[in-house]
Homo-oligomer: A and B are copies of this chain.
């Protein structure tokens, strides 16, 4: 396997399996001089953590982060930052019966096909626990972006067929973290929570759509042609386990539009070049226009369900049935929000470094 590295100038490498001793990440490329402590990372991990509310998996993971390098006297030194979270609530016993039966919708079967040998405990490397490293690195990326006035806001816009009403950026800031589904429309949030309870009681699961908005964007971020900002974001977001679609701005709706509807008019507002609408989602020709960057991702329903499913026993190469027991989120979107935000943050910091927007050696703003 390769591909555990992400980014060019702000580069991370994640490691760890669901039921191994720990999961972690090394972040290479953080400038010197950024004030950083475990609490900065912990607060984002707490948003991703299992067991944070009644609608998520009851797996109890405290997910306490340890920083092992890269910080001296409370500030980054420019050297790699290594962080680690110990796996505590690990009981592989319940996976024992599934050792040779791949779970439909999971990576079990393809890992088996590719590697011929896999850590079957809790999905091993393909477990969602791998995303702790993304979130930890994203916390640092967000802290850097905040120095440049950029904020990344994720929220659930659809879940189990229930759509949130139209919300403002202020609504997202204010409401999203107040309900367990992370929906900025409080009424829809209640319905979504009810939907989650309903599918769980059926032994089933449901999907949804998450939107990630980046505000305060400077114009000029992104490299045209193959490293278009939208292409990098699509790569980053589609690399998250359950994501099956990514769109920017009007996205799939643009396929139904006429040019006269889709094109954002250009105008001067308060002396600055602006677009009068934002169907482009803040990106033209792969480069940020200064308008908010808007991405949406389609999140498939959790593949682990307790309903009976068809599969195969690989030891004897015979058809069989399985029912997956254990603790699973009946719907992924609420907990994918911090992961998606992290991926967007990683892309933005990397592309801002690429374009010379961020000094890669030192962050002067926070130097004492």
Contact = CB atoms under 8 A, between A and B. Distances in A.
A351 B21 CA distance: 31
Interface footprint category on A = 35 or more
A261 B224 CA distance: 39
A334 interface: no
Contacts of A80: 1, 4, 13-16, 125
Nearest to A249: B244
B224 A15 contact: no
B317 A268 contact: yes
B78 A312 contact: no
B317 A114 contact: no
Pairs of residues from A and B, 7 with the lowest C-beta to C-beta distance, nearest first: A107-B285, A3-B227, A3-B223, A245-B247, A265-B310, A235-B235, A105-B263
7 contacts: A2-B227, A3-B228, A5-B13, A24-B26, A111-B285, A252-B252, A356-B359
A193 B108 CA distance: 45
Contact of A285 (B126, B199, B250): B126
Given A1-B225, A109-B284, A356-B356, A300 B250 contact: yes
Nearest to A353: B356
A338 interface: no
A285 B106 contact: yes
Interface stretch (A42-50, A144-152, A204-212): A204-212
Nearest to A30: B1
Contacts of A260: 204, 305, 307, 309
A303 B238 contact: no
